[in-house]
Structures are given as structure tokens and as C-alpha cells.
Structure 1
Amino acid sequence: MLLALATTATRPSYRRIPRLLRFASKVPLDPKKPRLRLTEDEKPETVPDRWNYNSSSLLEGDAKSQEELASYPLVDANELEKCKQPPREVKMLVRDWIEDSLYNPHYGYFPKQAVIFDTQHTTFDFEKLRDSVEFQVEISKQYAQYGADAHQGPGRQIWHTPTELFKPWYGIAMAKCLVSEYLLKYFPYEDFVIYEIGAGNGTLAMNILDYLRSNHPEVYDRTRYNIIEISGRLVSLQRKKLASIHPCVKVVHKSIFRWDKKEPAPCFIVAMEVIDNFAHDMIRYDLRTLQPLQAFVTVDDRGDYDMIYTPVTDPLIASFLKLRTRLAHPPAIPRLLRAAPALLRAYTNLPFGPNLSRAEYIPTRLLSLLRTLRNHFPRHRLLLSDFSSIPDAIPGVNAPVVQTRFQNTTVPVTTLLVAPGYFDIFFPTDFTRLRDMYEHILSEPATSELPEPTSAPRLTPLAGGTSSSLALGADYFSSYHPSNRRRPVDGVTSASGLPVGERKSSVFTHAQFLSTYADLNHTRLKSGENPMLEFYQNVKFLF
């Protein structure tokens, strides 16, 4: 059945990927496949489900009833890590569906399918390339070294990053950014502590550390480079590639969402091309009441997928919606409809009018990351880069691209509900909203219940004494506080001995950031083009 790949309501276009659908239709449905179930005592209390009655009525006779789908046990991605095959007769939040599809250790996309493009020991000699066309030809030659896909199904999922294409110059730009902040604020009183989330092939870490060793040996001697990596395969690669060359590297095999240690020292968090693969939840609004509904993915006994909607009960979704309201970020409903109830009633009473708003994907896992940084790295500085917009997204607001590699060609599809493990799912990021969320969360008190470090941090001239530096109040010396600086951290002072808040983060385009920190002469082509500036125009930085 084609339903093994997509739901009845939203299928990929047959004309775009007919052979891919034929492959998916041949996936056997094993009646002996283990199914994940919960006992009656473990089942959560049920809430009346809302059914989106705008789905096709032509196939309803073959579809499971709303009541039967809603009765399936609720599971999450943590439970599914034990499953060696995708489960059936379950339901899960959209973020758990995405996490399971991407990160399940047995059948997930990243552990089993994804390959990061790596030029190995080759670097492009940009100054000898005629123009960007010739540069892309050289990239194609590097891709050709991976060989052709030998079978009819989805092939190896190869994707590239600016770190790999423009090495070592891209990594050197990141190093200059970080070391300039360190030298300005902390040297020589504090160590240079870096945490990289999702280091891929380890190329960025290698480029940063090579630069420090050659140009700032006194900083390199005080560098501690920590990698937090969820993929066991990449952990082995990173340790093999980095450990013997740079002993200051420590690779931790763990998800950042399960981080359980507190770093009291000032540190830098690096997250490059990471948050686009963070799972999102999906909500839709009841257009009669304007109440948000959370989406669940259901998997029936045949392995077919569908979605049902219930009032919001998930704490993380509810927390995100409250934060969005506080920040005055509007929901994905046209302002005119929100402002004019009469117009909204007329709209919903139209023949075949929708009862639910468009699907909206909200970055709940990104919210979890920001809280982790606040609670576990109280004195961090974040350097983050990712896509601000992406083409070929599926329908919806802030919707992801869902794509696979088929017969050596990247093929986007039009639905989220695809065979787990064979498709990349990645999202754009609204960097203005991210900055608002980030600064608001950092202004809140930490909620971590972690025990304090067993060994007291080394005292430095920048650390306060036994009494709190803010005991007299943050505004004791002056009632003025700049709007572009955070509130001071208790116990942390500047070189002047006064509590001074960290500068707030800013958003930069890819070209703006690299024009500030990169040596652009090394990536300029004979034609005068500079692909490191001109490529990735849909990427932004937060720093």
C-alpha cells in the first residue's frame, strides 16, 4: 500500500517520485513485528480528540475510526529507543515522531543513513578556480568519489556544510570570533572552555584548534574543547580524528537534552548547523474558539500513519505558547481573522470551510536547549548558525523540508509522515524570535536542581568574594542599565570590580558575520566572486 509511506490526506505527488512510491509500497508488513503497547495501568487519561474533518472523504471507509486511533497508547522517543523496528498501534507527539525518525539508534536517519560530505585531506584552492561554476564542478567531483547508489531504494544521505566546503578558512573565522571574546574578557584569569554541540566529522574543532596552536599558543595551552555528540558513529570518528592531535579534546557521547553537569566557569557554546534538525511540535487552532490543539501521529496495525488533534496538555507545548504570548509573537492565524470575530464566524461557515487553521510547527526542542544552557552553563556565550529559510518545505507555517536521496538525486516530498529513517527532516529558524526567546529565558532564574560542583571553582580577580557582589542591589552604583546588556550575574564582576552584565546577543547574516571575522582573500575566485560570502545566503548567525 502507498499508505506505508504517507497518509490518506497528504501524499507525495505521484509524478514527482513515482519510483520512490513503488519502492515504499513493497515494504513488507510483518504481522509478527513486535508492537509497543502499554498496560491498562500505564495508559494516560484520555482527552476527547478533535478530528480534522477536512481530510478526504473518499477513503474514509478504509481508514481507522477516530476513536480507535485515539485509544492507542501514548509513547515518546525515549521509550522507542528500545525498539529495533518502528512500532505499530501507538500514538506520539509530532516532536517524538521526528526524534524517533531521525535519531532512533536502530533505524533512525542519522545513525543509519546520513553521511556528512567530507573532502578528507583535500582543500579547494579557491585562488586558482575561474568562477563559481568551476567551483561547483569541483564539488561534484568530490561527491562522485562516494560512488553511485547501487539499489532502487533511498540511497546514502550525503549532505555538506560550509565547514567542509570552505575549510580551513570557515573554521578559522569561528576561531577568531571566539578567541577575540576570550582575550578581551577572560585571559589570563580563566581557561578557554568551548562546548561544541554536534561536531559532525570533527572538522570545525580541528580547524579551530589548529589555528589556536599556531597563532595563540598561550591560549591553546589553556583550552578545553568539549564535544557533545549524540551519534555513536560520529563519536568514534571524532575521537579517532582529534584525540591524538589535540589532547585537550574531550568527546562526550550524550544528547544535549540529557546533559546533567553544571559548568561554573565562563565558556563558549558552539552550535553550527545543529538546530535545524531539532524536533518541533505541530499545533493547529480551532477556528471557532481560537484554542490551540496539539497534533499526535498515529501508527495503526498495518503501519499506516495519520494525525489526530487534542486540546493542549503537553507541558512543553503549553510552556512554549505561554512564552510566545509574553513575547508578543503572534500565532499563525491571520490578524484580520483574530481581530474580527464576525469575519472569523463567516469564514468558518463557508461551504467546505475549514474548522482548523493551517499546521504550525513550533520549536519546542529549541526551547529545551535554551533552558539547558541557562541552567547548566550559567556563564556561557552562544555562537549559533543555521538556516533562516529553506525552499521546498512541506505545507504549513515554519514547516520543514522532508527529503531523501533517490538514485543519486535529492528528492523533497510533501508530507511529514514518511518511513522512519529514510528521510532528512530539517526546519528553518526565525532568528529574531530565537533571539527574543533566548534573552528572555536567560533573564529568568535558573531552575536546575543539580548539585553544586564538588570542587570549588578556582578564584580569580573576576570572581566575587565570600559576599555577594549584588548584595547591595544590581543598581547600587548606578540606576542606569543599558538595554543592550543582560543583568549582572551574582558573584561575577568585571576587571573594574563592578558587576557588569554580558552583552546581549545579536543576529547577523552569513555574509555580515564572515565579513567581520573571515580572511576573505583566501576564498576569492579569479572572477572576483567569493563563494564563502555568496553561498548560504539563507543562513544566519546568533552571537
Structure 2
Amino acid sequence: MLLALTTTATRPSCRRIPHNFPRFASKLSPNSKPSSSSKKPRPRLAQPEKTEADQDAPPDRWNYNSSSLLEVDTKSQEQLASYRLVDANELEKCTKPPREVKMLMRDWIEDSLYNPNYGYFPKQAVIFDTQNTTFDFESLRNSIEFQEEVSSRYAAYGADKHYGPGRQIWHTPTELFKPWYGIAMAKCLVSEYLLKYFPYEDFVIYEIGAGNGTLAMNILDYLRSNHPEVYDRTRYHIIEISENLVELQRKKLASAHPCVKVVHKSIFRWEKKEPAPCFVLAMEVIDNFAHDMIRYDLKTLEPLQALVTIDDRGDFDLIYTPITDPLIASFLKLRTRLAHPPPIPRLLRAAPALLRAYSNLPFAPNLSTAEYIPTRLLSLLRTLRNHFPRHRLLLSDFSSIPDAIPGRNAPVVQTRFQNTTVPVTTVLVAHGYFDIFFPTDFERLRDMYEYTLAEPAAAAGARPTPLTGRAGPLALGADYFSSYHPSNRRRPVDGVLSASGLPVGERKSSVFTHAQFLSTYADLHRTRLKSGENPMLEFYQNVKFLF
């Protein structure tokens, strides 16, 4: 039963659902029924009598919820706090979910999503693929007929079995609007390359999490047909964490485009430095990056980190401790520098007396609302700074999502059960059966990204272009001849000239809506329906680009 999948011992504060367009096939199927997170859960079925073999089994505590109105079991809390602290890297060796351990929220999410033995992506997720066929947009009457056509493609995957979670199928704009979506990305990248680096540098692309390899195929097909001189100088690298997808990508791309190299590795374990100018693609990737959870003590405003505990029964709980994790501490320090406020009302932060009065009210909470902070996203930005010092980032993902669980920047947690998409209200769910994905505040991401690139390590490993051996004047410092620098450009990297030989800085990244970006680079007439609607523009209105 589904209830047995949502193991929880708390009631903490639910992937992505584009504008009027569901993520899973079940909502597209004519026979499916819409789900509602407001429905009351079905009562538990009567349990069969225990056999002799079950007499020594621990008692069942499924769906037990702790409450602040009840007496706290201090002994139980102390036992949970005494569990061994583990992380996702250590848990990769486990063949089944661990017990009697505790871990940070980001390690819990990473283990649930990416564990090679029981994680969601290695074992459950399937990316919707139309194979070698594309939609004939110009022949479809309207968006309703387009969704019916998509639904028929989903039906080819078959119906779910009725005794457990179904196949977790989800789609991306790359697959729905191929090849035109990929061609738009290709036009964006090649225009920048031709303007700044051709013919002195190779066209180097790194794609993080390439899925079925469709985007890489569409980009490279376009380059070979329209820019053969650029294609001859293209090196396309895929960094992929999923072993199954690595095999699929190699099989799909190796014979068609020998310039592709697929590396089976997590981007967070990347060690090789790329000194040349390059472009980094991260399309529909960062929403599944693990987040940490913090809450603030409303008496002291001290931040506390959340630890997920798993007891000997396999039940989950949350405990909170002072910040000791270096990555969480680093993120909070960066947020303070960028003047990004925490999720506490400004009046409470500004007036200690008001805060004390509020915390002394009857039934007042002692902790703030849960906040999910993108610590793994910060790890990515540092990886780009340290190992790709001359990169240009093209990133796209969800800026908002419906059906999220309670909390600031909280994720959607959902699965598919009996052909229906089911969002739940907690992140503490059974390993491997649920997708956990987050929205991204793109304005804050841009601030974090630019600040991270401006740190000193950004210049490490940079090399001059073939035009010069060393950039002499810049050895004196980027500001030696002038104190003026445009606010929309990064500082130039000392010792490195542009392809034109001028010591200019890179343009700072900008945030675009999905429609704004595609209106600039896409051939919109290719995806326009008879009614004049354009699903490539009108769907995914909750998606943004950083470039």
C-alpha cells in the first residue's frame, strides 16, 4: 500500500509541473484520475496476524506523527542523537537503506535519489523518449490535440502494475520539442563562440546530466549541417552520474558524433581542470540537487541544521543541532554577504523585544519554518570556478513549482501509483520511490554565481590564448590603467587576453524567462500549431534561464 511508502515520524513542513502540463504520463492518460494532495489518506487495512517468525520483529510505527503538544520522549531523542553520522558517499556501498544512523538532509536526499543500489534515478526513473520520431506541430490543431498526441506516446510505455509504485516516467522540453529546442541551444552557444573565440580556440562543450543524449545529438547535428567549420573543432563532453544513461548516451552518440566523450562521474567529484574557454550546459539538472534544511531558534535566531535519523525499525525522524557542517556554514556566510535575508519576518529580526514577546506567546513555535538551502548548488558553482575557470554557463530549470511541501524553497515530493501522480507532504519517504525536486530562485542564484566567480580561485589555472604568451600589461593588475569598469561585466582574468587580444572582462550572466530566451534563439514557426498557439513558448512558464 502507498501508506507503507511514506514512512515518517514527523510532520515537517511536494517534479516539476510545467504550466498546465503534468510531469508524469499518468495525468496525460485519458484513463487516469486527477490526484489531490488535500484528500484524506485511506485508513490502514487490518494487518494479518503475526506468525511465529514475526514475534520478535519490532512493533509497527508506520505513519506515527510526533507532536509538540505531547510529552517528549527524552530517552528516545537521546538515542536518535547518539546514532552514527554518515554521508551519501559512504552509503553508496549499501545494498539496502541503512538503519540506526543519522545524516544531513542533503545526504538523505542524495542517497534517496542517487544511491546506485536503491536510488530513484538508477532504479525507477525513465526519461520520456519519442525515439526517432518528432511531433508534426504544424499539423496539430491546438494545444489540446498536442497533449493528446503526447498522451498517446506515453501509452506506449504500458500501464502500471497495481501492487506498488509505477514506472516513474518524466519528460523534458528537450524531448517534447526536439530538435527545435536543442537547435535553439546550439544557436545560442555557437553565436557566442563565433563572436569571441573562433578560429583561435576549439569549441568545447561540457553537458552535465545529458539524459537520453537528445540535446547533444540535436546540437551536434545542427553544427554539422550549418557550421561544418565549427563542428570540425568541436569537443563535446558529457558528465553523467547514472550508469544506465552513460551506456545509452555512448550507444546513441558514439557512431553519429565521434567528438563526444561520455564520462561516468558525478560533477561534484570532478578533478580535471579545463584551461581552455568552454561552455557548460546544465539543463533540467539542478532541481534534483540535494538541499540542506535549516530552522532558526526563535529566541536566539541561531540557525540549526536538520539531521535525518533512521531507527532500528527503519522509521525516520528529524533532530536539530547547531551548525557544524562547513558547507552549510559557508552558504549562510555567503548569503549574509549578498544581503539575502533569512525567512524570518524583518520586524522580528530588527526588534529583539518584539521577538521575545512573540516567543513567549502561548503555543508559539520555538523554531522557524523549515528552509531548504541549495548547498549542493553552491558546490557546483565552486567546481565551475576551480576546474572550468574560463567557462560560460547556460543553465535552465524551474523557478517555481506547485504542490510543494511546507517550507521556504521547499521541494515537490511525488511518485506514480496505479497510473496516478501522487504528491505527498513530507520529504521523509521511502528510498528510491519518490522524485524530490526543488525550485530555484534565479535572481539569488545569479548573485551567488557572480560572487563565487569573483573570488580569487577563479583565476587559478587560466592560460593565455594562442595570440600571446603572456599578457604583459595585465600582470600589473586589471585596474592598473583605469579605475572604471562597467558594472555589467566581470573583471578580466589577469594574464589572459580575449581572442581579439583585448583585455576585456566577460559579460555578467543574466536571467531570462523561458519565453524570452526561446524568442531570441528558437525558430518559433517550427513549433507553432494551426491555432497560432506555440507550446514551446506557452508551456514551462515556470522555467527560467541563466546565461
TM over 0.5: yes
For residues 259-293 of structure 1, the C-alpha deviation after alignment (integer angstroms, 9 at most, x for no partner) is 00000000000000000000000000000000000
Whether 1:471 and 2:489 are equivalent positions in the alignment is no
Correspondence for 2:67 among 31, 38, 55: 55
Give the whole-Å Cα distance in 2 for the aligned partners of 1:448 and 1:20. 60
1:119 equivalent in alignment to 2:130: yes
Partner of 1:516: 520
The list of structure 1 runs, each at least 4 consecutive aligned residues, that deviate by more than 6 angstroms after superposition, is 11-15, 19-26, 28-33
Equivalent position of 2:197 in the other structure = 186
Given that residues 105 and 111 in structure 1 are in contact (C-alpha distance below 8 angstroms), is that contact kept between their aligned partners in structure 2? Answer: yes
Kept in 2: contact 1:89–1:301 (CA 8 A) = yes
Indicate how the Cα distance of structure 1 residues 143 and 426 shifts in structure 2: closer, same or farther if over 3 A, else same: same
Q: CA deviation at 1:477?
A: 3.3
Aligned pairs for 1:344-493 within 5 A? 344-446=355-457, 460-461=466-467, 464-466=468-470, 468-493=472-497
Percent identical? 82
CA displacement, residues 313-344 of structure 1 (integer Å, 9 cap, x when unaligned): 10000000000000000001011211122221
User: 2:195 and 2:237 mapped to 1: Cα distance?
Assistant: 22
Q: Could you tell me how far apart the structure 1 residues matched to 2:211 and 2:490 are?
A: 32
Tell me if the contact between 2:464 and 2:470 (Cα under 8 Å) persists in the aligned partners.
Answer: no
Query: Does residue 171 of structure 1 match 2:145?
Result: no
**Shift of the alpha carbon at 1:8?**
3.2
SS at match of 2:255: coil
Partner of 1:262: 273
> How far 1:19 sits from its partner (Å)?
6.2
Distance in 1 (CA, whole Å) between partners of 2:376 and 2:267 is 11
Corresponding residue to 1:243 among 240, 254, 262: 254
What are the Cα deviations for residues 456-511 of structure 1, in whole angstroms up to 9, with x where unaligned? Answer: x79512xx424655212212333210000001012221355331110000000000
1:87 aligns with 2:98: yes
Where does residue 7 of structure 1 map in the other structure? Answer: 8
Contact 1:157 1:404 in 2 (8 A): yes
Alignment of 1:87-236 (within 5 A): 87-236=98-247
Query: How much has 1:9 moved relative to structure 2?
Result: 2.7
Answer with 468-477 or 210-219: which moved more.
468-477
Relative to structure 1, the CA distance from residue 24 to residue 123 in structure 2 (aligned partners, 3 Å threshold; closer, same or farther) is: farther
> Structure 1 residues 325, 218: CA separation in 2 closer, same or farther (over 3 Å shift)?
same
* 1:32 Cα deviation from its structure 2 partner: 11
Give the TM-score normalised by the residue count of structure 2.
Answer: 0.89
Distance change in 2, residues 1:355/1:153 (3 Å): same
Mapped partners of 1:183, 1:25: distance in 2: 70
In 1, the alpha carbon distance for the partners of 2:90 and 2:152 equals 42
Root-mean-square deviation (CA, aligned residues, Å) is: 2.8
Q: Which residue of 1 aligns with 2:344?
A: 333
TM-score by length of 1: 0.90
Secondary structure of 1:322's counterpart equals helix
Which residues in structure 2 correspond to 1:271-282 (within 5 Å)? 271-282=282-293
For residue 466 of structure 2, what is the amino acid of its counterpart? T
In structure 2, what is the equivalent of residue 41 of structure 1? none
Q: 1:344 to 1:154 in 2, by over 3 A?
A: same
The separation in 2 between residues aligned to 1:425 and 1:313, in whole angstroms, is 25
C-alpha displacement of 1:54: 8.4
Report if aligned partners of 1:195, 1:227 keep a CA contact under 8 Å in 2.
yes
Deviation per residue, 1:370-410 (Å, 9 max, x gap): 00000000000000000000000000000000000111111
* Counterpart secondary structure, 1:65: helix
1:397, 1:132 → 2: CA distance?
33
Q: Could you tell me which amino acid in structure 1 is paired with residue 494 of structure 2? A: D
Q: Distance in 2 between the 1:23 and 1:280 partners?
A: 37
**Distance of aligned partners of 1:517 and 1:422 in 2 relative to their CA distance in 1, 3 Å threshold:** same
Contact 1:276-1:428 within 8 A present in 2 as well: yes
Asked if structure 1 preserves the Cα contact closer than 8 Å seen for 2:223 and 2:231, the reply is yes
1:265–1:411: structure 2 CA closer, same or farther, 3 Å change rule? same
Deviation, 1:411, is: 0.6
CA contact (8 A) 1:90 1:298 kept: yes
| Conserved? CA contact 2:464–2:495, under 8 Å | no
Mapped to 1, the partners of 2:98 and 2:459 lie a distance apart of 34
Q: Distance in 2 between matches of 1:57 and 1:336?
A: 27
Q: Which of the pair has the greater relative contact order for Cα pairs under 8 Å at 6+ separation? A: 2
Q: Which moved more, 1:145-154 or 1:285-294?
A: 145-154
CA distance in 1, matches of 2:48, 2:213: 38
Q: 1 CA distance for matches of 2:75 and 2:342?
A: 31
Q: In 1, Cα distance between the equivalents of 2:544 and 2:45?
A: 38
Residues 361 and 399 in structure 1, CA contact (< 8 A), matched pair in contact too: yes
Alpha-carbon distance in structure 1 between the residues aligned to 2:181 and 2:287: 19
Determine whether 1:298 maps to 2:302. Answer: no
Q: 2:10–2:318: 8 Å Cα contact kept in structure 1?
A: no
Against the structure 1 CA distance between its residues 410 and 161, is the aligned structure 2 distance closer, same or farther, given a 3 Å change threshold?
Answer: same
Q: Is the 8 A contact 2:475 2:495 kept in 1?
A: no
Structure 1 residues 22, 173: CA separation in 2 closer, same or farther (over 3 Å shift)? farther
Q: Which residue of 2 aligns with 1:506?
A: 510
The letter of the residue matching 1:512 is Q
Supply the distance in 2 between the matched residues of 1:241 and 1:300 (Cα, whole angstroms): 44
- 1:101/1:420 contact within 8 Å kept: yes
What 5-or-longer segments of structure 2 have no aligned partner?
15-35, 58-64
Distance 1:460 1:524 in 2: 44
- Partner of residue 38, structure 1: none
Task: Say if 1:116 and 1:201, in contact at 8 Å, map to a contact too.
Answer: yes
- Partner residue of 1:541? 545
After TM superposition, the structure 1 stretch with the greater mean CA deviation from structure 2, 482-491 or 265-274, is 482-491
Q: Is contact 2:212–2:248 with CA below 8 Å preserved after alignment? A: yes
Tell me what 1:287 maps to. 298
Whichever residue aligns with residue 232 of structure 1, its letter is: E
The count of aligned residue pairs is 515
Contact 1:4 1:25 in 2 (8 A): no
Query: Partner residue of 1:531?
Result: 535
